[in-house]
Structure 1
Amino acid sequence: MIIEQIVGNVEDIPSSGRHIEKVYLSSDDLVKRIQRVTTDHGKEVGIRLKEPKDLIDGDILYMDEHNMIVISVMNDDLLVIQPANIKQMGEIAHLLGNRHLPAQFEGEDMLVQFDYLVQELLEQLDVPYSRQIRKVKKAFRHIGHHHG
């Protein structure tokens, strides 16, 4: 089976009693348009998306009247940064940007994939953070640029 487009997302389309098979992906795999995956029931699926779109947690790869194949993102090892004020947020964002580390935001939390150097930096700057194993909804996207 080759999947060329996403049907929708389980947040928008209820399963309505359909059997759900899951494809477990790391957050890094969400940016890949072409990949071969295996469902939790052992079914091989090829993904070859026509549109340049990142996959997100809950995306439906396939659906018929009885079955759904759904993306489930595996947990990441994260630093959950909770800056005390806007100045601290700006400083951390600047320092992470200099290291080309992608970040995501969920509510007041800034999320970055665990990196011991970032952890040391947060401790040196006395920035509140915690290390958590948790699921992110979308990929950590590296944005390419050059220093000119």
Structure 2
Amino acid sequence: MIIEQIVGNVAKMSSNGLHIERVYLTSDDLVKRIQRVTTDHGKEVGIRLNEPKDLMDGDILYRDDRNMIIVNVTADDLLVLRPVSMKQMGEIAHQLGNRHLPAQFEGEEMLVQYDYLVEELLQQLAIPYAREKRTVKQAFRHIGHHHG
């Protein structure tokens, strides 16, 4: 089976009464437009997306009257930053930007993939943080650019 487009997302559609199979992907796999995966029921599925869109947690790869194949994102090893002031937020945003590290935001928290150097930096700047295993909804996307 080759999947060429996303049917929808379970957050916006009902899955009542359907047989559900899951494909477990890392957040890094969400940006891959072409890949071969296996469902939790052993079914091989090829993904070759027509649109240049990242996969997201809960995306429906396939759906018919009885079955559904859904993307589930596995937990990442994250640093969850909780700056207590604009000054702390500015300092850490500047430092992470210099390192070209992608970040995501959930509420008042800033999420970055675990890196021991970033953890040391957070300790030096006395920025509150926690190391957590957490599922993100979308991929950490590296933004490429050059310094001119």
TM-score for both structures, normalised by structure 1: 0.99
Structure 1 position 88, deviation (Å): 0.8
Rounded to whole Å, the distance in 1 between the matches of 2:57 and 2:17 is: 20
Aligned: 1:24 with 2:24? yes
1:44 counterpart residue number: 44
Rounded to whole Å, the distance in 1 between the matches of 2:35 and 2:130 is: 33
SS at match of 1:28: helix
Task: Give the 4+ runs in structure 1 shifted more than 6 A.
Answer: none
What CA deviation, in whole Å up to 9, does each residue of 1:86-135 have, x standing for no partner?
11111111100100100000000000000000000000000000000010
The code of the aligned residue for 1:72 comes to: N
- Identity, in percent, stands at 76
Structure 1 position 10, deviation (Å): 0.1
The code of the aligned residue for 1:121 comes to: L
Q: Is there any run of 5+ residues in structure 2 with no aligned partner, and where?
A: none
Rounded to whole Å, the distance in 2 between the matches of 1:81 and 1:19 is: 38
Rounded to whole Å, the distance in 1 between the matches of 2:90 and 2:60 is: 37
1:138 counterpart residue number: 138
Q: Which region of structure 1 is more displaced relative to structure 2, 67-76 or 84-93?
A: 84-93
1:34 counterpart residue number: 34
Q: How many residues align?
A: 148
TM-score for both structures, normalised by structure 2: 0.99
